[in-house]
Structure 1
Amino acid sequence: MENRVYKITLIEGDGIGHEVIPAARTVLEATGLSFVFDEAEAGWETFERIGTSVPEETVEKIERSDATLFGAATSPTKKVEGFFGAIRYLRRRLDLFANVRPAKYHPVPGATPGTDLIVVRENTEGLYVEQERRYARGRVAIADRVITYDASYRIVEFALELAERRRGQLALVHKANVLPLSDGLFLEAAYDAAKRHPTVEIEEVIVDACAMRLVRDPSQFDVLVMENLFGDIISDLTAGLVGGLGIAPSGNIGERAAIFEPVHGSAPDIAGKGIANPTATILSAAMMLDHLGESRVARVIEEAVDRVLESGPRTPDLGGRATTQEFAEAVAAKVQELLSA
């Protein structure tokens, strides 16, 4: 039987995205799978050049692909007329409703043994609808927080199905004690979805208590599901449990498209130096393969990453001297070795 050819869109984005995406491509090409890579652009640099952060051509390429691997994007801290955050725009435009962020122990400094959990974050609403305005001569700012039954049901259903494939535990993370209408609606939808998954053990956790419990003992959690802002913050906390953002992968998954990306940003302070840690991007590529049904190869990439992290070479952020590409080539070599064993 002839191997399937996967069409993958690569978007480097900004900053270190120009380094970590080629690194991940090196590892993908070592798997022996068949790929056709199609490069596209998005981000702040694109906006500065052509006046939009996501060209329509990029959206079309993503829609025609089996999956997309995205590097990193810069967003200014002040409002810039006509600019919209590239990845946030793509999440809403393509209805990539599920942001999946695993936190799993890897042999790096500061990682907490026993950590193996997944944060599932609703990706299309909450405060990230970016509906803000000012009143009282600019001295009062108001932002809308949008929570809907349908989006809440859909993301909890996704998390329940994921929990069924893992250890059968799901934490509903919320703040309904302070936000009874919006988070109350999230919980209402969640329990309606849970009726279809009676084997999954459900636990409610207030978001601030969740943060404390994660720091004390992350092994008590399996899958956690929450709205957009809570998921953004909690998943950065869980990244800290496994060694930092340089280790943390993620996927943005919808019914007709999927974009995988490292959780970290564009790191302008080290961009262009060739020292960025590509681990999160390589692990995001492994997530992408898992999504495409290539679970065995995805596991091989994860094992190869762990072996290289353990024995070296390592990038400077992990105490080593390897360049981004040298680390990627070491992982690629280990992937080939494991696949041929």
Structure 2
Amino acid sequence: MNGISVIVCCYNSVSRLKPTIEHLQNQINIAVGQWEILIIDNASTDATFEFANNLWQNSKTADSPNFRVIKEATPGLTAARMCGIKNSSFDFLLFCDDDNWLSNNYLSDALGIINNNPNVGIIGGYGLPVFEGKEPPLFWENQYHTLAVGSQYLQEGNITNTRKVVYGAGMIVNKKAFAELVDEYEFEFQTTGRIGTSLVSSEDHELCLAVGMIGYEVLWYKKLQFYHYIPKSRTEIKYYKKLFLGFGLSSPMLIGYYLDRINPINLKNDYRYIASRNIKKMISIYIKIFYQRIILQKSEYQILHLLQQLYSNLGSFKTTIKVKNRIRDSFLKTRLYKLN
């Protein structure tokens, strides 16, 4: 059915859900029968399920869309999104995080883009930060993309063959493309998404890469705007370090999408080469950090790019040693890889 299923994945979201749902209620220029809201309570230990239901019952109107709260016991963002997909009614899926506040024309603009792009697989939007406290130092120089706000690429439109991916916040997915991945190519996520307080991620990137491989387009548009509420704790250095480590832990799980199509099993794709490269990079980066911090007396915000490189390489090293070549060899056997 043509329309959009808005999937809001929640883990202990009582303190964050109210403005998220309120912004969804303010959508304009879209018929009530063209969309729905699915709140996925992903193994929460607070009252997310009851809170969401009560909030909706107390604020819904005659023009409100269908609204459901569904419990998903398996922890992890990927499991929550899969639950939302299985329970969705419409042809397109919008992944709205519990701290994302969609602009009031987000859905209507998205439908316009969909109707003008018959081969669309995934669409990304433009996040605007709303800080709990002060904007952190150098935010627009070296942090905004890390927290899923700002421009996703230099040019809007089709980025299938350039940047290739969009971030998960505000992402819109063609359900037909996802079904094709699963049914025809036996697609399964290698990444798990975030589980509880863990910041392991990259499932959104994996989905974009897979959709692009089977011939669909990945797009992004600035007019699809949403506010991303950012607590003060998420702009602290200790959070960034944990986030960067999560990026690194996930990256080896995506190796299959970047394999050399002519000679996929070679030295550069061997875990020993990758692990050795990680170690060499970490040593080099640590020396640079020592020089910048001790000799030049720069703050950690000023050298955040170096911290990202250090912790990402550390995470990549940990996963590479753990999985060795299993991810690579497993991906080589998939129907998705045999496309090329």
Query: How does the TM-score come out when normalised to structure 2?
Result: 0.27
Query: Structure with the greater relative contact order (CA < 8 A, sep ≥ 6): 1 or 2?
Result: 1
